[in-house]
Amino acid sequence: MLETLTDDDPLAKPAQFSRGVGPNRAKLLEKLGIETVGDLIVHLPRDVLDLTDVRAVHELVEKETQSILGTVVDRDSRITSTGKTMTAVLFQADTGFIRGVWFNQPYMLAKFQDGQRVVLSGKPKFRDRRWEFSHPHVQWLGDDDDERGGGILPKYGLTEGLRQHELRRIIRNAVEDAVEFVTDTWPDAIRDRLKVPSLAEALRLLHMPRTMDEYQLGRRRVLLSEILEFQIGMALRQRYWRKSHISRPIEVSAKVDARIRRLFPFQLTAGQSETIREVAADLARNSAMHRLLQADVGAGKTAIAVYGMLAAIAAGGQAVLLAPTEVLARQHWQTIDDLLAESRVERRLLVGDQLAFERREILEGLASGRVQLAVGTQALIQDQVRFANLQFAVIDEQHKFGVRQRASFSTTEGFSPHVLVMTATPIPRSLCLTQFGDLSLSTIKELPPGRAKVITARIRGPGARRKMWNHIRQQLAAGRQVYIVCPRVGETPDDDDVPINESDDTATAESVYATLSKGELRDYRVGLVHGRLPRELKQQAMDDFRDGETQVLVSTTVIEVGVDVANASIMVIQQAERFGLSQLHQLRGRIGRGRHVGYCFALSEAETPEAAKRLNAFESISDGFQLAEVDLEIRGAGDVLGVRQSGNLPFQHADPARDKDLFEEAHAEAQQLVDRGDIDEPDYAMLKVGVLERFGALMELPHTG
């Protein structure tokens, strides 16, 4: 946030010499990463305690948002006559008692302790001769929070030995003495467009707000500083890609378009047709397409991939489709091979363990141009793989590949292929702007007509399980097929399965297979597939289920993507709390792919707050994009992207889950700055230099941008 500091800069002065610090407190501040006066100023509040409208009990009125200070004196949780869980907490205020009530949030009980001081905010009602807040916002007071002065008190992250009121005073002193020396790299034009103050003024408002509006204004500017710089870096990367990756333009004529569409045994949806128009427009340019296609489960993204590949082949080029697993690669191969059954297109499947002579024949065909279309795994991007004229590359389930793998097809005789990366795991918009802001974005939300409805239910308790198995046996007797999904293979997890920390083996694929084969499903043909099986046995198990030789398939998450058996209409997910929301949704997408109503049963006895939220959302929401937003709110951006521990999230303070609107606003501003060329003008030089210094290496940008 602050520019590089020099020794004579007041912001570079050691924190020890700031008012109210000294050597002992300086050692404590070092534990918070604070070494200089500048560090003190950018140690931002994690929250504020709003005491501007704290009222006495006799001052409360109904239907107005207001706050009251209280001390916990009693707690209770019970089941109401309507079956809801009600948590009630009694607080003693200045001259009386008030009650806070929460429904279907039993975990709230553990958040309160007797004698704890809190500020409740909300719209109270007077009932049963007592004021009551329903689902109020709660601010917990620390032992050293002095609420008597009122106002707005910033709340900072602390370390042992440092109290809240001490750190407030220390930071206030630093702001008063040195915030004026903070450099703002933004020109006036950006501040005016985004309606924000200078960075120095924003920091003052954050640390010393007189009103919540001032605090929010300061917070908005500081967060936008982080987000906008990153978005400018992404826009510069996108511009650099277009300039440095020259491709052969592919014109899709009306004749070629009609020939490709005739291959599909179904009518394309409006969403698919719109995405094809976007892809065709990209192909017509001489800069390589770099587009992300995200689609809900079953929305038909494979049709888009096939369209682009055949357009490239019609233009005389080659095309490839890269999948992260052999199961998915073979599923894609089967789909494409069936579509092209009457076609003269030379096509091959390339996976890791093919026979040497077969692999050699495929590689020779790719190098000579005789093989026009290849489907495979990472075997397609090994050093020995050469293409004669690769013009279109598809990377499926892009989140399982790194950025460098996405760029592995970058050159062929001086030209770059057009690249389409795809995912059937919907990504929240704010994360798209964070992780894939350098890609153009296409989204397909609608499902093809005729897809069967899928009914989802969480199953708890032995009674519910008995009813579920009875229903499953009825469906099997009617000719349907069933997936039983387990979180791991056996006593220890493997790479294809969800890692766990518990010794409970009741839901492993091997134990479930053994139990069901002799128990609930003993009268039916049960198969087993998981990641540890040899390739031949794994493929045989999948083929047997697809051909109806087995009626039940016990599996791990190897069936998460790419498996398409129209007759499979039931799924049982064992220990569902061990799966993330996006993974649960992907698994559910394996059923309801035909004309029969689907049933997805999530078995879980877990009662933790996060598990309850996740499973309730899974049970009640079928839209993958809506589920993705819920998953982001529950787990946070780092866990959703899988980068919490790797340090890849580039933000200190901004949060894609919380600050969605700011990400949209910054993205639009950054695109305009780069597209119009403003970022290259002298007035924006300091901002551009700061972006390149901070993000240039991360985004592999040349120093000039």
Residue-wise pLDDT for 330-359, tens only, equals 889 999 999 999 899 999 999 887 888 999
With CA atoms as reference, report the closest residue to 68 among 101, 46, 97.
Answer: 97
DSSP H or E run through 138: strand 137-140
Lowest-confidence range among 486-495, 586-595, 672-681, 691-700? 486-495
Q: What is the DSSP code string of 310-378?
A: HHHHHTT-EEEEE-SSHHHHHHHHHHHHHHTTT----EEEE-TT--HHHHHHHHHHHHHT---EEEESG
What pLDDT score was predicted for residue 492? 47
What pLDDT score was predicted for residue 550? 96
DSSP state at residue 489: S
pLDDT confidence of 615, banded at 50, 70, 90?
A: very high
What pLDDT score was predicted for residue 643? 45
Query: What token pair was written down for 552?
Result: 């039940």
Q: What is the DSSP code string of 94-119?
A: SSSEEEEEEES-GGGGGG--TT-EEE
Per-residue H/E/C for 531-574: CCCCHHHHHHHHHHHHCCCCCEEEECHHHCCCCCCCCEEEEEEC
The domain made up of 10-46+160-209 has a fold known as: DNA polymerase; domain 1 (1.10.150)
Query: What token pair was written down for 361?
Result: 């024949």
Mean pLDDT of 178-197: 96
Per-residue H/E/C for 4-40: CCCCCCHHHCEHHHCCCCHHHHHHHHHCCCCCEHHHH
Question: Is a pLDDT exceeding 80 seen at residue 703?
Answer: no
The domain made up of 454-622 has a fold known as: Rossmann fold (3.40.50)
pLDDT, greater one: 653 or 201: 201
Q: Which residues contact 572 (CB under 8 A, 6 or more apart)?
A: 468, 472, 482, 483, 484, 485, 601, 603
Distance (Å, rounded) from C-alpha 223 to C-alpha 166? Answer: 25
The model's pLDDT over 578-588, given as tens digits with 9 standing for 90+, comes to: 998 888 998 99
The domain made up of 53-149 has a fold known as: OB fold (Dihydrolipoamide Acetyltransferase, E2P) (2.40.50)
Residues facing 573 on adjacent strands: 485, 602
The model's pLDDT over 38-85, given as tens digits with 9 standing for 90+, comes to: 999 999 998 888 877 788 888 899 988 888 989 999 999 888 877 788
Mean pLDDT of 293-304: 89
With beta carbons less than 8 A apart as the criterion, state whether 424 and 295 touch. Answer: yes
The model's pLDDT over 485-530, given as tens digits with 9 standing for 90+, comes to: 999 876 544 434 433 333 345 678 999 999 999 999 999 999 999 8
Task: Count CB atoms within 10 A of the CB of residue 383.
Answer: 6
| Angle between helix 22-30 and helix 164-178 axes, rounded to 10 deg | 100
Query: What token pair was written down for 247?
Result: 């491709």
Q: How far is CA 590 from the centre of its chain?
A: 21
Residues facing 74 on adjacent strands: 90
Q: Where are the domains of the chain?
A: 10-46+160-209, 53-149, 254-284+300-423, 454-622
pLDDT confidence of 135, banded at 50, 70, 90?
A: very high
What pLDDT score was predicted for residue 144? 58
With CA atoms as reference, report the closest residue to 482 among 450, 449, 523.
Answer: 523
Question: Is a pLDDT exceeding 80 seen at residue 103?
Answer: yes
DSSP state at residue 675: H
Question: Is a pLDDT exceeding 70 seen at residue 170?
Answer: yes
81 residue type, one letter: S
What pLDDT score was predicted for residue 548? 93
pTM of the model: 0.75
Fold equal for 53-149 and 254-284+300-423: no
Cα–Cα distances (Å) from 423 to 335, 475, 561, in that order, read 17, 32, 10
CATH superfamily of 254-284+300-423: P-loop containing nucleotide triphosphate hydrolases (3.40.50.300)
What pLDDT score was predicted for residue 150? 62
Mean pLDDT of the chain: 87
Mean pLDDT of 211-227: 95
